[in-house]
Amino acid sequence: MPKTELDESPLNIANGYLYATLGGDGSDLPPYDGHIVSVNL
């Protein structure tokens, strides 16, 4: 959801994966949805 979500949290590495937490961009416009993206390193 590139129009309403940003990566505003630090990246995390654990167990061979890189994790990025995405949340609202601060514009206070719906839809309100969050995601966690993981990449196998």
Dihedral sign computed on CA atoms, order 1, 36, 6, 31: positive
Residue 13, pLDDT score: 96
pTM: 0.63
- With contact defined as beta carbons under 8 Å apart, do 22 and 35 qualify? yes
DSSP string over 8-25: -S--EEETTEEEEEEEE-
pLDDT on residue 29: 67
What is the extent of the structural domain holding 16? 5-40
Q: What is the pLDDT of residues 1-41, one digit of tens each?
A: 666 666 677 899 999 999 988 776 666 666 667 778 899 99
Q: Which pLDDT value is given to residue 38?
A: 94
Give residue 36's pLDDT: 86
Which of 18, 28, 19 lies closest to 5, judged by CA? 28
Number of domains in the chain: 1
